[in-house]
Amino acid sequence: MIILGVDPGTVVLGYGIIRVEGKKLTCLTLDALKLDAKKDPFERLADIHAAIAELFATYQPDHMAMEAPFFGKNIQSMLKLGRAQGVIMSAGLAAGIPVVEYSPRKVKQAITGNGAASKEQVSGMLQHIYGLESMPKVLDATDGLAVATCHAYAIGSPIQASMSVNKLKKAPKGKGKGSWSQFLSQNPDRIQGGQSE
């Protein structure tokens, strides 16, 4: 199985591609696409789409994993990043490739065991995992490799909480509509024993 991991960006887009064979992980490539910040934003989106399509054609990934955006205070930056994400997602879905998303904290937790790890710590652990002689100076590339690795761990885990199609519906507080009774009726498969024989 081949997994493409993407760290979306409108100026720098990081990516890493891995092969998963049983428990063995192999890094096929990791790099960062540097986009011209002076270029028209829509032209940059076209460049992102073309780059992702080229990766699909070259490596033929079975899955694509993306790092979810960190919600900052700059609304304009978030809108631009959201557009880039949409272009990447639509390219994957149009190619018939399953697309999943992981929060930065979940990725760091999967790689280092610490959701608050620094990018440098994540890079160092990835270098160890893959036995790479050196790592790119651009950390966006290692972020792409990290999210691909996180996805490999998630789909290889017996408990695939983040990947489960049958996710728990959020249990609302209070009584009446949106109460525990409604939650239990909507999730009968989540009710386990507990009755004494």
Catalytic residues: 7, 67, 140
**Interatomic CA distance for residues 147 and 5, integer angstroms:** 5
**Interatomic CA distance for residues 82 and 191, integer angstroms:** 37
| Helix or strand (DSSP H, E) at 25 | strand 24-34
Residue corresponding to tokens 């760091």: 108
Closest alpha carbon to 100 in 2, 196, 1, 4 = 4
Strands 12-21 and 63-67: unpaired
Contact 52, 14 (CB under 8 A): no
